[in-house]
Amino acid sequence: MDTLDLLVHPVRLRIVHAMSGGRVRTTSDLCGAMPDVPKTTVYRHVGLLAEAGVLEVAGEQRVHGAVERRYRLQRARAVIDRETAASMTLDDHRRTFAAAMATLLAEFNTYLDQGHADPTADSVGYIQVPLWLSQDELAELIDEIRTALVAKRDNRATPDRRPYLASPILFPLVEPGRGRQAEDLQRDHEHA
């Protein structure tokens, strides 16, 4: 299974999220983190991720006569690289976006279903802001977002840290230079 097919699945994406921060977890731990997913499904997807090298066995122990494995995420194997992204078809992008949105919805519902969820206190945010940007401004914004996220990406799980899911989504609402609105704005700008 190629990286794209492997990672573009809501349950596998959730497993990758749950393993972030350098955490070492058992499949049983993952089942507890995803109570809405059947245990057999979690076990099957952990097996696929381990077989592909996205998860590595960090240790084993006997529990009630069975071997329980503890897994660690191999983050470098859990990304869709630029080359793969550049080769994606429009249908691949549609499928990837749908999986990302399904994952986001499942993660948010799992958060809300906790007895102690408090979106205000937890600084939950999900605003959408249309931005008018030149290509240079867009590149600058992407660089700023990337820099901010990368600066925190390697944070390890510690008692004073809580995992947050950041899911920046950026796409054009109107293709630049096309559509009546863009033409009218360009004309107004030139006559100003």
Measure the CA angle with vertex 149, ends 27 and 106; round to 5°.
40
pLDDT digits (tens, 9 = 90+) for 4-36: 899 999 999 999 999 998 899 999 999 999 999
The yes-or-no verdict on residue 101 having pLDDT over 60 is yes
DSSP 157: P
Q: Which two tokens stand for residue 78?
A: 């859990």
Region of poorest pLDDT, from 15-24, 72-81, 91-100, 167-176: 167-176
Strands 66-73 and 55-63: antiparallel
Q: Compute the average pLDDT of residues 38-60.
A: 96
pTM value is 0.80
DSSP state of 134: -
How does DSSP classify residue 177? T
Instruction: Give the torsion sign (CA, 112, 75, 144, 100).
Output: negative
Q: How far apart (Å, rounded) are the C-alpha atoms in residues 147 and 26? A: 32
Q: Residue 21: which region, alpha, beta or left (left: phi > 0; alpha: psi -120 to 50)?
A: left
| CA separation for the pair 29, 42 (Å, rounded) | 10
Q: CA dist 149 to 21, 89, 118, 144, Å?
A: 13, 27, 24, 9
Q: How far is CA 35 from CA 28, 38, 46, 71, 106, in A?
A: 11, 7, 15, 19, 11
Name the β-bridge partners of 68. Answer: 61
